[in-house]
Amino acid sequence: MRYRGRIISVLFVSAILLFIRKTVESHFGQVPHSIPLPAILILILAWYLGKQYDKYVNISTIDPLTGAYNRRYVMNKFPKIVSYANKRKLNISVIMVDINEFKEINDTYGHAIGDNVLEDVSKRLRDSFEKKDTVARWGGDEFLILTFFSDEHVMFKKINDFKSRLNSHHIDNLSVSIGKSTYPSDATCLKALVTIADTNMYDTKFRLKNST
């Protein structure tokens, strides 16, 4: 949540101020001001401190270029994702997405356009998957997605939706290679799941190169 720190700070301080107010009322009767100026200043300070916390959280968890989560976030979040999946008896699909010939895109169009491609692919991924899914920039031109599923067809529908969105990209023949692994059938730790998905993705890339 983007405003979590601000909301928690203001609610916490508001609760303390309300407690102080009720205590004063019980000892001295009705207070003269409904919302005294010092209380307003304290709430503003709480909002500001909460905003700084939100800013720090955003920097530490979000990739600044693409707006997707970063690797650190995925590694820290994965145990909670597994716990959620286990409680609801869901599978987790670990999907690796790599932009094909990304170096050629940079060489042909320039690094600024390359950055735009990364931003655009990230946005199309986030639009194709649900909010409860995790879309992260894993490194370079690789993205990692963690998505829950009980019906594999639903998961493939999300992947196909992303491919359809990618087909309308302004750069001709922009394509990706995709590999996946599944928790818990393929592996149970993130490192192993990523390795399997990465291997499958490079197998796809290899077959695509040999077919052209």
- pLDDT higher than threshold 70 for residue 199: yes
161: tokens are 């939706």
CATH architecture type of domain 71-211:
2-Layer Sandwich (3.30)
The alpha-carbon radius of gyration of the chain (Å, integer) is 24
Average confidence (pLDDT) over 34-40: 67
Q: Render 86-98 in DSSP notation, one character per residue.
A: HHHT-EEEEEEEE
Beta strands 176-183 and 134-139 are unpaired
Average confidence (pLDDT) over 74-103: 96
Task: Decide: helix, strand or coil at residue 72.
Answer: helix
Confidence bin at 51 (pLDDT 50/70/90): low
State the pLDDT at residue 169: 79
Please tell me which residue, 4 or 81, carries the higher pLDDT value.
81
- pLDDT higher than threshold 80 for residue 13: no
State the pLDDT at residue 191: 96
Least confident of 7-11, 24-28, 111-115, 116-120: 24-28
Confidence bin at 55 (pLDDT 50/70/90): low
Report in angstroms the alpha-carbon separations of 183 from 16, 78, 93, 151: 45, 11, 6, 14
Say if CB 55 and CB 3 are below 8 A apart: no
CA distance 31 to 24: 7
Segments making up each domain of the chain, as ranges: 4-61, 71-211
pTM: 0.76
Give the mean pLDDT of the chain.
86
Please tell me which residue, 26 or 83, carries the higher pLDDT value.
83
Contacts of 100 (CB under 8 A, 6+ apart): 174, 175, 176, 177, 205, 208
Task: Give 138-171 pLDDT, tens digit per residue.
Answer: 999 999 999 999 999 999 999 999 999 998 877 8
Average confidence (pLDDT) over 49-71: 77
- pLDDT higher than threshold 70 for residue 33: no
- pLDDT higher than threshold 80 for residue 116: yes
Say if CB 147 and CB 84 are below 8 A apart: no
Least confident of 15-24, 149-158, 176-185: 15-24
Contacts of 108 (CB under 8 A, 6+ apart): none
Residue 50 one-letter amino acid: G
Confidence bin at 96 (pLDDT 50/70/90): very high
